[in-house]
Structures are given as C-alpha cells and as structure tokens.
C-alpha cells in the first residue's frame, strides 16, 4: 500500500485538475457544442493550464528557483502560485468566459480564488496542500454539476470523496504535508466552490 499511495500524488497533481474538471464538465453538463468547439475548449485548457506551467517549471528549475514539481519548500511556492494566478486570470477573461461556459467559468474562478488564498498564506508562513485544494475543488464541482443538471452521480461523487482521502494519505506518506496543511488545503479548495454555488446553481 505504501508503494501505491504516492501514485495518487502524481495522478491527481494540481496541474491535471483543470483537465479533469473540463472533462467532467463536457461529460455531465447539458450544454451542447460542436466537436470543433469541444476541441478548441480542450486545446485552450491544455495550453494555458498544462503546457505553459510546465514550460515555466523548467525555466524556474533552470534558474534554480525550484527543485521539483511537488514544490515541497515553502520558499519555492510564491512564483509558481503567482504564475498560476496570472494564467487562471487570463483563462477566465479571454477563454473560459461566463457567457460561453458559465459553469466551467465558476469552477476556474473558484480555483483562482483558492490559489490567491494559498499565495497569501505563504506570507503568514503557512504551507497549504495544493493537491488537496485541487481534488477537493474538483469534488465540489462534480456535486454542483450533478445538482444543476439533475443527474444522479452518487457513485462518481463517492469515488471522488474516497480520492480526497487517498490523495491526503499520499501526501502524508510522502511526508510532503502534515494534517493541518492538508486540512487548510481542503478548506481552501472547498470554500470558494461552495460560495460560488450561489451564482450558478
């Protein structure tokens, strides 16, 4: 089990959460788009939330600003989080706008707010689990989609609840976080998504 747990940290690394969220949005939401529109949506997500962050990561690593993709050192988190804030801001103002993809827009807006909170907490010397922010936000988004579209996704939601536990256990096993940091990350991920339910549910 100890060998399996670290896999959850990689499979559900925060960089993959936007892709997972977009996939379930397309799968569950009742909005209908052409194949070309769906391809363009995923292309935008891949470029802004995956390829650009990966490029920035290697650039920062080259200049010795970060050591690894897990960002275990609190001092190395400021620049990556600031970059994520900028990229998410571009995403919701230029690509995933409220008039084109309203429900997905609020998912990314919640992600932006969570990232801002995690960034500000760094100045209080509080290390937040970004993994927990991502997986907990995705879980709440899944709940919101099922409520909005009146679809019974109980099994999927139950699976994601278990994933929250698996990711948390993985981070503990890898000694990347303690329970306090995981709890703060969970709250940072859940709270904005729940608050934003008011605007789209």
Residue 32 has pLDDT above 80, yes or no: no
> Which pLDDT score is estimated for 133?
97
Residue 24 has pLDDT above 80, yes or no: yes
Mean pLDDT of all residues in 180-189? 96
Question: What confidence category does residue 25 fall into, taking pLDDT thresholds of 50, 70 and 90?
Answer: very high
Residue 51 has pLDDT above 70, yes or no: yes
pTM of structure: 0.92
In whole angstroms, what is the distance from residue 106 CA to residue 112 CA?
A: 10
> Which pLDDT score is estimated for 73?
67
Residue 68 has pLDDT above 70, yes or no: no
Residue 175 has pLDDT above 90, yes or no: no
């Amino acid at each position: 089990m100890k060998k399996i747990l670290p896999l959850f940290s990689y499979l559900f690394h925060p960089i993959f959460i936007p892709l997972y969220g977009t996939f379930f949005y397309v799968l569950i939401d009742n909005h209908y788009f052409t194949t070309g529109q769906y391809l363009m949506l995923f292309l935008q997500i891949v470029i802004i939330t995956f390829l650009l962050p990966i490029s920035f990561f290697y650039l920062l690593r080259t200049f010795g600003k970060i050591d690894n993709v897990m960002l275990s050192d609190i001092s190395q988190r400021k620049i990556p989080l600031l970059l994520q804030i900028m990229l998410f801001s571009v995403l919701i103002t230029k690509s995933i706008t409220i008039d084109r993809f309203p429900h997905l827009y609020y998912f990314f807006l919640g992600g932006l707010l969570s990232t801002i909170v995690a960034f500000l907490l760094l100045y209080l010397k509080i290390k937040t689990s970004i993994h927990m922010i991502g997986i907990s936000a995705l879980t709440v988004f899944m709940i919101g989609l099922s409520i909005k579209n009146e679809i019974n996704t109980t099994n999927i939601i139950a699976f994601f609840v278990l994933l929250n536990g698996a990711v948390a256990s993985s981070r503990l096993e890898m000694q990347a976080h303690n329970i306090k940091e995981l709890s703060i990350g969970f709250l940072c991920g859940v709270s904005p998504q729940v608050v934003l339910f008011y605007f789209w549910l």
